[in-house]
Each structure stands twice: as C-alpha cells, then as structure tokens.
Amino acid sequence: MSWDQVSDVIAAVCFVAAAFFAAVAAIGVIRFPDLLTRMHAATKPQTVGLLFALVGLGLRLGEPSAIGILVLVGLFQCATAPIASHMMSRAAFRAGQVRQDLLVADELSPVMDREEPRGAP
C-alpha cells in the first residue's frame, strides 16, 4: 500500500469519528436532564469531533497552505470554545438554572455570597 492509500484510510477513519462525536453531542442535548449537563454534551464531543475532521481534512488535502489554515482553525476553536462554555455555565449557575437535587456535592453555593472585588489588577 502506498502512503496515499494509508493517509486516505486514516482520513476516512477520522471523518467517521468526527461524525460520531457530533451525533453524540446532538443526542446528549436531548437526553441529559439539566442545563449544565447539556452544556457538557453540546460543547465537548463537538470540539473533539471538529479536531478529528480537521486532521482528516489535512491528511486528505496534503497541501501545506491548507494545513496552515486547518491548524489555525483548531487553535482558535480550542482558545474560544472554553470561554463560551464558561460564560454560559457561569450565567446559568448564577441564575439558579441548576437542578440542585441532581448534584452529588455542591461546594460553590455556600460561598457564593462571598464575592471578590471586581476589576482589573
């Protein structure tokens, strides 16, 4: 088998994995019970799925300039996705959109009223 065929097979496996994780993310949004657990399902497997899709694309295209863009897409996704999910879950927690009965332990609510001073350093 030549290198072209090997990379095509690996790319195909990556695409299937990407599709699988994206599908799992969608199913998780339906099945999980409350907002924060749904956030886990919606944001994380999707990021992993995107990374798989990028690796597959890079192997399939094989052009250095295209791989440069793909690496940038991956980097920016990894830099921005956590901020978005953090801001949403922070707002959700503060708005009381958490099912307390589901939590095994909650170490934040008791210290929630002890806010720290705001602003830049």
Which positions touch another protein (CB under 8 A)? 20-21, 24, 27-28, 31-33, 36-37, 39-41, 43-45, 47-48, 65-66, 68-69, 71-72, 78-79, 81-82, 85-86, 89-90, 93, 102-109, 111, 116-117, 119-121
The amino acid present at 45, given as its one-letter code, is: P
Least distance from C-beta 39 to another protein, angstroms?
A: 6
Looking at the Cβ atoms of 5 and 107, the one nearer to another protein is: 107
Distance separating the N- and C-terminal Cα atoms of the chain? 59
Euclidean distance between CA atoms 22 and 16, whole angstroms: 10
Euclidean distance between CA atoms 11 and 60, whole angstroms: 6
